[in-house]
A and B are shown apart, each in its own frame.
Chain A
Amino acid sequence: MTTRRKAPGDTAETRERPWPKLLTRPSLPLPAAREGRAAEPIATGSEWTTGALEKFDAALARHAQRLGLSIYPIQYEVITADQMLDLISTVGMPVHYPHWAFGKHLVAQERTYRKGQSGLAYEIVINTNPALVYLMETNTLALQVLVMAHAAYGHNAFFKNNYLFQQFTQADSILDYLKFARDYVMQCEQTYGWREVEKVLDCCHTLAPYGVDRYRKPGRLSARRERERLAERLRFAERHFNPDFAHLNSRSDETDRQTPAFEPQENILYFIEKHAPRLAPWQRELVRIVRKVSQYFYPQRLTKVANEGAATFWHYTLLHELYDAGEVDDGFMLEWLSNHTDVVTQPPFDSKAYRGINPYALGFAIYRDIRRICEAPTDEDREWFPEIAGRPWPETIHFAMANFKDESLIEQYLSPKVMRDMRLFLLHDGPDDKDSYEVRAIHNEQGYLRLRQALAAQYRAETHVPQIEVARAGDDTERALLLHHRVLDGRLLDSDGVDAVLAHVKELWGFDVVLEEVDASGSRLKVHRV
């Protein structure tokens, strides 16, 4: 994604100039001057000012309200390119605990940016209340407005209304919590040395995808409560600590903790935090921090297509509304459309530029097609989407944004037209033929349903994150931790990755760790052990 500067033409002139010979007239009529159409664009040229941004925001807010977008209040933050690099390195969060992996990300970004290989991601928005939207100072006016429409209206509305974000994250308290986490980590570094802290964090990071309650709604985050909890724990420990009996106490604790009937646990980090025999309290606290942060990002992992698609759809829609209302000029439109096109490009599978399915492209195509189905349904659409064909589009879009994640959005709304446009096809990689893939379905009548189901399954969390759970731990396993991998379609784990990860788990658990790969019938396919 690169930012490009173009000098938009002088508007007064453009309006009077005759239509250029080489360009054909558009087949669609240009939007008629509506009532209330602005006489003058809000601002022209590529330089932005705070005043202009305020006016644009007001215009965007007006259109958004008319189209029924419900959003959190917005806080725009104007930042420099260096600050943007910092932000990108910490997954966009303005506060985060320090860790080398963020630094690695930073130096990599920095190098490609300074060399001019890549521009900077020009939008970052954070799921907080108020929503934080970052505007980089080097963006042109058109880009700033594009970012505002995309992030402050598109993403913001998605964050506020999507059921996953409502259930799993607390936009009000995340920054407070991260501040608490940062201070706690830095304090631990002071007290216990950075090596120890880094070791624990490294171990937790390898398990971060397994620090999530996938189905249960987590408790509310509160930095204040976390601090109180810690203080209480310390006070208790101080009051009850008796060096003579410390040894005895810890032993009786351990035996008490064993539960006779063991239920499999999907949240491995939670299990480690509560039951790892050897962790010191501060180490448990670090596990908890990584777990909470992972939980916060969990919905984002499930809604890449839905979220980016919605944001892209809304910037596209809102900016066209601005144009139709005469509030921006042609140069402005050409500039952001060029950026927009770069973002929603989907290179074909055999292209060098192919990096998997572009979530912006897929999501944008889906939402845009929903609007098309509402406004101008064909017979095919009536057959496939009887419930939305011909209905008012804003409501339909809001419903699609609020109630689906990637998997279900695709399953519900991927239309034959989008499949045709993207020329999707389904490959099968079977165990018997390791030299070639088989084409199972293409974009034709027989293939649509199958393609849709396969693509939806591709966005299921289980497809790319192997399903691991704690199967047993305790006395009957001689303190070993027994993990199960639920094998789907015979796909085993990569043993290099397993060895590295298990070594880290062992570090936390303190005793042996065994990972069994078990298929649906319960038979063990492979056992890893450290």
Chain B
Amino acid sequence: MTDPGSPVVSMRIVDRRSDPPGRGAVNRERFVRRFKDEIKRAADDEFRRRSITDVGKGGRISIPGRGLQEPFLHHDEETGSRDFVLPGNREYLPGDTIPRPRGGGRGGPEGDEPGEGESRDSFAFVLSREEFLALFFDDLELPNLERTHFGEVTLERLRRAGYSRSGVPQSLAPAMTVRMSIARRIALRGAIAEQIEELERALENADPAARAAIHDRIDRLRRRRDGLPFIEDVDRRYRAHAPMPSPATRAAMLCLMDVSGSMDERKKDLAKRFFTLLYLFLERKYGEVDVVFIRHTETAEEVDEQTFFHDTLSGGTLVHPALELAHQVIQSRYASESWNVYVAQASDGDCGADDGARSAAYVNDVLLPRLRYFAYVDIPHINGLFNRPSDLWQSYGAIASPAFARRQVHGRGDIWPVFRELFARKADA
């Protein structure tokens, strides 16, 4: 064995904790890529269940377990004979029989893979936020959103801008004022002291007649030095404010959707995707995003998200009341300048011609002046019967404001291009 004369085996300790991560991510990405279809299906289900505001988070995903195992050759347990040894015998004697457990026998050294403890039917794991978003936007080919500029709102906001000599009493800066006063007094005392010294030197070789005058001046200077005022007008400093442009950081997003009978699940799903995209976009842009859901048939009401997407109503379609309700909401809650208000409307566009015209006028005259942007997404019927442009689509054609846009969406693949078109246009302007 070890040569007794040899030195103790060499050893070293290496700290790898700060090494960059990498390999895991590479293989993980390959796994997601490989089972993209399955994972996407699972992510889609997840997406349907989630609320708009939660889509941007990662989460647990479960995909069917079939096909995940790399195939390998193994014996069919139903054929042939085999012997196997088990531990933990309690009462059995040679010759006893044990009923065979259902689902094939187990035993032997095979099949002991710890950590792989997943059922055969499904395989669950956790997707990160980035992976989830990548899958969500996979059909949408999401580019880098953060760089786009559109509808940039600037507010004039007063910012602190140093100190000034003039101002109103309530913006007096006492600490700064006292500091100025100390400086002034130090400076003046020094100057006076110099004069006094000079006079005292003059005093020594002055003739007696002049002495009295010099003494008098020295006394006056000393009095002045001792009586320097604590605060003078020149000391006063005020906090200065200058108006600075600053982007508004809050956004309100009003989702308007037609929930009449003609809006089926497919259309709602497309609408939801569009709303989600807008939400994610606004969320990255603004610190705080309020979402308001307004659904309408012939009447309009504000509802929660669950009802908005999943509750079905029947009835005809009137757009105008929904727009009025949106206006009310804006007036009551988002009237302040600090809110960037966006309206996204999704509909299949079935409405009466006069309702369409009224709505278009209302959008143009009442809503748009208060809005950052109004986006209308028209989701036509999938079959060819109603291939002519919808009424609302035609009516909205009359609006010619840069803050208004309308687009048609036919399928999931359309959503991202439409979204980009809607919002990229302003970047050029």
Contact = CB atoms under 8 A, between A and B. Distances in A.
* B partners with A: yes
Given A83-B17, A349-B107, A436-B100, A490 B8 contact: no
Given A82-B24, A501-B71, A439 B14 contact: no
A69 B2 contact: yes
Contact of A442 (B12, B17, B23, B92): B92
Interface stretch (A34-42, A110-118, A258-266, A271-279): A110-118
A70 B85 contact: no
A428 to B, nearest CB: 5
A96 B23 CA distance: 8
B43 to A, nearest CB: 14
A497 B1 contact: no
A497 B71 contact: yes
B104 to A, nearest CB: 10
A458 B90 CA distance: 22
B308 to A, nearest CB: 32
A451 interface: yes
B315 to A, nearest CB: 46
Interface string A107-136: 111111010011001000000001000000
A427 B88 CA distance: 13
A332 B98 CA distance: 44
Contacts of B26: 98, 103
Given A75-B12, A438-B95, A451-B85, A458 B109 contact: yes
A117 B93 CA distance: 38
A292 interface: no
A71 B9 contact: yes
Given A428-B81, A492-B80, A70 B27 contact: no
Interface stretch (A56-64, A212-220, A310-318): A56-64
A482 B71 CA distance: 20
B28 interface: yes
A347 B87 CA distance: 8
B65 to A, nearest CB: 11
A109 B115 contact: yes
A491 B97 contact: no
Contacts of A130: 10
Given A96-B23, A349-B107, A440 B70 contact: no
A436 to B, nearest CB: 4
A426 B85 contact: yes
Interface stretch (B116-124, B155-163, B236-244): B116-124
Interface stretch (B29-37, B381-389, B416-424): B29-37
Contacts of A383: none
Interface stretch (A3-11, A25-33, A246-254, A461-469): A461-469
A7 to B, nearest CB: 25
Nearest to A301: B109
Question: Which secondary structure characterizes the binding site on chain A?
Answer: mixed
Nearest to B12: A75
Interface stretch (A15-23, A85-93, A233-241): A85-93
B34 A198 contact: yes
A69 B2 CA distance: 7
Contacts of B24: 82, 85-86, 89, 103, 106
B9 A106 contact: no
A356 B108 contact: yes
Interface string A416-437: 0000001111111111011111
Nearest to A406: B109
Contact of A424 (B32, B72, B85): B85
Q: Which of A57, A121, A429 has the most CB of B within 10 A?
A: A429
Contacts of B15: 50, 77-78
A491 B70 contact: no
B229 interface: no
A357 interface: yes
Contacts of B81: 428-431, 489-491
A377 interface: no
A333 interface: no
A79 B9 contact: no
Contact of A425 (B10, B86, B110): B86
Contact of A349 (B70, B88, B96): B88
B30 A99 contact: yes
B207 interface: no
A209 interface: yes
Nearest to A68: B1
Interface string A202-217: 1001100100000000
B16 A77 contact: yes
Contacts of B112: 355-356
A349 B86 contact: yes
Q: Which of B17, B79, B90 has the most CB of A within 10 A?
A: B79
Given A443-B89, A451-B85, A70 B2 contact: yes
Contacts of B223: none
Given A100-B34, A490-B81, A90 B27 contact: yes
B84 interface: yes
B89 A447 contact: no
Given A111-B125, A464-B109, A491 B80 contact: yes
Interface in B1-52: 1-2, 8-17, 19, 21-24, 26-35
A76 B126 contact: no
Contact of A427 (B93, B107, B118): B107
B243 to A, nearest CB: 49
A492 B123 CA distance: 29
A430 B80 CA distance: 7
A73 B88 contact: no
Interface in A338-380: 346-351, 354-357, 359
Given A79-B17, A118-B115, A439-B95, A492 B75 contact: yes
Nearest to B115: A109
Given A58-B8, A76-B13, A464-B108, A440 B83 contact: yes
A206 B71 contact: yes
Contact of B76 (A110, A350, A464, A494): A494
Q: Which of B16, B26, B89 has the most CB of A within 10 A?
A: B89
A108 B114 CA distance: 11
Q: Which of A103, A107, A423, A494 has the most CB of B within 10 A?
A: A103
A277 B87 CA distance: 49
Contacts of B115: 88, 105, 108-109, 112, 118, 121
B336 to A, nearest CB: 43
Nearest to B4: A65
B76 A491 contact: yes
A78 B86 CA distance: 39
Contacts of B75: 464, 466, 491-494
A486 to B, nearest CB: 12
B105 interface: yes
A96 to B, nearest CB: 7
Interface string A121-156: 100000000100000010000000000000010000
A357 B106 CA distance: 11
Nearest to B87: A422
B107 A423 contact: no
A223 interface: no
A501 B73 contact: yes
Given A121-B115, A304-B109, A426-B84, 5 more contacts: A68-B2, A98-B26, A110-B125, A429-B81, A431-B80
19 contacts: A54-B11, A65-B9, A76-B12, A83-B19, A89-B27, A98-B27, A101-B70, A106-B31, A111-B125, A111-B126, A130-B10, A355-B111, A426-B84, A434-B100, A435-B99, A439-B95, A442-B89, A457-B83, A491-B79
Interface of B: 1-2, 8-17, 19, 21-24, 26-35, 60, 68, 70-90, 92-100, 105-112, 114-118, 123-126
Interface of A: 50, 53-54, 57-58, 61-62, 65, 68-80, 82-83, 85-86, 88-90, 95-96, 98-112, 114, 117-118, 121, 130, 137, 152, 194, 198, 202, 205-206, 209, 304, 346-351, 354-357, 359, 398, 422-431, 433-443, 446-447, 451, 454-455, 457-459, 463-466, 468, 485, 487-495, 497-498, 500-501, 504
